[in-house]
Amino acid sequence: MCRIKEGDSKIEHWFPRSLSFDNLEYKKLDYSNLFLVCGDNNKSCDTTRTERKELSVNPTSARTIANIYYEKASGRIRSRSEIEDQDLNNELNLNGAKLNFDFHVENRKKLLFFFITILTAKNKRVEETELKKYLDNYMNPVNGKLIPYCGIVVWYIKSKIKTS
């Protein structure tokens, strides 16, 4: 959920090029098989990816999104699916376990802490209608751009709406 900088990104494949052969050769250039990751000085989200493994995590899939949750205290992104959780940690390294690449986790924690601070500063119970306004703000791009790491706040607000 970080903002990908122009010129500092690379194309990745859901189904790896190394497994594309014969009738799967088309997968190399199939747009539905491609996604963009941040380059960030060779510390991109896929730096630790196994060359010959198809990814199970797909942020365009409603099933994947439904399985995603965050650990509020740690800022880690997790999945209820064990296979997707392994991809988040081992293949995409979104929780910084490998290569000391944990600034994503820290940025998620900071944004969530900032949001919770805003809510608690009101010194009153925040009504569901107000939470829905916040949700709308975090889910809708401004000038075509979402707030970086907004996924953790969206998840938090949705969990608050469910419990209210």
Question: What HEC string does 28-43 produce?
Answer: HCCHHHEEEEECCCCC
Q: What's the domain range around 20?
A: 9-163
The count of domains in the chain is: 1
Q: Which residues of the chain are modeled with pLDDT < 70?
A: 1, 17, 19-28, 39-52, 98-101, 164
If you search the block for the tokens 């799967």, which residue do you land on?
24
Residue 139, classed as helix, strand or coil, is: helix
Report pLDDT digits (tens) over 55-86.
Answer: 888 877 888 888 999 999 999 999 999 999 98
Residue 141 resides in a domain: yes
* pTM: predicted TM-score of the whole model, two decimal places: 0.80
Predicted local distance difference test score (pLDDT) of residue 90: 82
Residue 119 resides in a domain: yes
Residue 2 resides in a domain: no
CB atoms inside a 10 Å sphere around CB 155 = 19
Opening angle at CA 100, ends 96 and 104, nearest 5:
40
Q: β-strand 9-13 against 77-79: which pairing, if any?
A: unpaired
Predicted local distance difference test score (pLDDT) of residue 23: 53
Residue 126 resides in a domain: yes
Residue 3 resides in a domain: no
Whole-number Å distance between alpha carbons of 111 and 47: 25
Residue 69, classed as helix, strand or coil, is: strand
